[in-house]
Amino acid sequence: MGPAREDGNEIVVGSYTGCTDDVRGWYTKPATLYAVSAKTEHPEKAALLLDFLLNSDEISELQGIEKGIPLSRSSRAYLEQHDMLKGLHYDAFQLMSENIDSMALIHPFMEDTDMLDAFQEACNAVLYGKSSSEEKAAELYEQFDAILNG
């Protein structure tokens, strides 16, 4: 966002248009997940550690909104009390919260490495004038079909 702002552009959160199909979940992807093995020798200590990482004032202060706006109410309350909940990320979080019922999880195919690589290669070929969008669209369709249907 730095170069865009340096060029005089204003970065804002656009309104959520909503979708009715299954390709609507770009927003509901977790940034960080924690896990504890079912075989841990110290489940109570593991639970205390997770509680500290998710809800403590100390971690809230250190992490701020670096990984996005925390889902933990206590963490958000701390950040709000210390005027740390502001900016573009927070504006987007608020908009998402208002529209959460019309959002879904991201489809796994949208994170398939082969699909992402093929898409990026196709975009670059068109952007750099090495191929037409029509040619790359047809090629990309075939590549996606091969990936999905093996």
User: Is the domain of 133 the same as that of 82?
Assistant: no
Angle at alpha carbon of residue 63, lines to 76 and 48, rounded to 5°: 75
117-143: pLDDT as tens digits: 999 999 999 999 999 999 999 999 999
Domain count, the chain: 2
* Stated pTM of the model: 0.58
User: Is the domain of 100 the same as that of 127?
Assistant: no
User: Is the domain of 78 the same as that of 136?
Assistant: no
Please state the rounded mean pLDDT for residues 78-90.
93
The secondary structure element, H or E, covering residue 53 is helix 43-55
Percent of residues, the chain, with pLDDT higher than 70: 85
User: Is the domain of 63 the same as that of 132?
Assistant: no
Percent of residues, the chain, with pLDDT higher than 90: 50
User: Is the domain of 41 the same as that of 73?
Assistant: yes
User: Is the domain of 41 the same as that of 82?
Assistant: yes
What is the average pLDDT value for the chain, to the nearest integer?
85
Is residue 39 pLDDT above 90, yes or no?
yes
User: Is the domain of 99 the same as that of 117?
Assistant: no
